[in-house]
Amino acid sequence: MGTIEECAAPSPSPNGLTFVVEVEKAYIHLHLLSSTPQYRLFPSHRDTFNGKLGEISGPVAFGAEAYRQELQSFLQTFVKELPQVDREDIKAILGIGEGSVDLISELLEFLRITVGNDAKVYNTIDPSVVAAHGAALYARDTVLDPMYRELLDKDQHDELIRDCWSRSSVNPFISPKDLRWRQSAKKTLALNVPLLRTWDYLSGSIPIPGQGMRARAFSQSLITRDARKILLETHLDHSIWEDTPYISFTTSPSKLADLANQRTSQGRGVQRIIVTGPYARRAKSLPLINVATTPASSV
């Protein structure tokens, strides 16, 4: 994104944009991101979303061969509609998401040719690079401006990234919902009724007999080394499944029915209703997040 001199400046503002192709089972989302490293943010410069071109939803909607053509057309249109100055400023092309390695690699190669400006292509992130980058940002802030030390919890002086900036260099798409969820988890919840949840093949978590709900892409605070290490290892190795630390639920059968009907109408197929015992999760010190107090986008 920038030279060593640009990134080391007191107010770093490296030039360049990052083209991110987010490939999921249900959709594809293209992002063109700028960078403000002093705030750990990657503001969205432009983006476009297609809910019919996911790795699973696409072949169902168009057929296997036509799906590939639709994908390439979608990517090509986005690039061609970019102003020339933006297109020339793309320094990196990054592939993320739960799509297969083969599909993401194919799209990255197509984008490399389509963008045509020698942008670097990435489909993995080395955890050691992320940790080193976080440590460097931490050191720079505290040396250049000791004021930043006041933002740190005394028990977390050795942490790489501040709680209030959980939207970090680890993953620019981790939203402040992590912090909201953790705050919600502290609220006292009535535990005298079952917790209801609906699941389908596009859900981020999966029920495993005898093991409850498990997920690969879990949500949690990322202010500790171990949390970031586990998150990265989990995303890099698709065979790893971890206990879901957060589970969204409702206690209202009617609300659950509405949600199930909504998902079915969106093409997510048959909905499986899951009943979870609240005490079982509390016994494992796992938080409970009520969808009534959680943003709809995180359900």
Is residue 245 domain-resident?
yes
| Tens digits of residue pLDDT in 210-252 | 555 454 444 444 455 666 566 555 544 444 444 444 455 677 7
User: Could you say which of 122, 153, 185 is where a domain stops?
Assistant: 122
Domain count, the chain: 2
Lowest mean pLDDT among 38-47, 71-80, 180-189: 180-189
| Tens digits of residue pLDDT in 241-262 | 444 444 556 777 888 888 888 8
pLDDT score at 184: 42
Is residue 103 domain-resident?
yes
Q: Are the C-beta atoms of 48 and 78 separated by less than 8 Å?
A: yes
Same domain? 197 vs 282: yes
Where do the DSSP E strands lie in the chain? 17-23, 28-33, 44-50, 90-96, 120-122, 195-199, 205-208, 212-215, 242-243, 248-249, 272-276, 289-290
Is residue 150 domain-resident?
no
Is residue 146 domain-resident?
no
Same domain? 187 vs 294: yes
Is residue 167 domain-resident?
no
Same domain? 33 vs 115: yes
Is residue 171 domain-resident?
no
Give the tokens for residue 213: 């709900």
Supply the CATH number for residue 117's domain.
Answer: 3.30.420.40
Same domain? 208 vs 105: no
Q: Which domain holds residue 275?
A: 177-298
Tell which phi-psi region holds residue 291, choosing left (phi > 0), alpha (psi between -120 and 50) or beta: alpha
Q: At 209, is the pLDDT very low, low, confident or very high (cuts 50, 70, 90)?
A: low
Q: At 66, is the pLDDT very low, low, confident or very high (cuts 50, 70, 90)?
A: very high
Run of H or E including 260: helix 253-265
pLDDT score at 44: 76
Distance CA 135, CA 112 (A): 31
Q: Maximum CA pair distance of the chain? A: 60
Is the pLDDT at 55 greater than 90? The verdict is yes
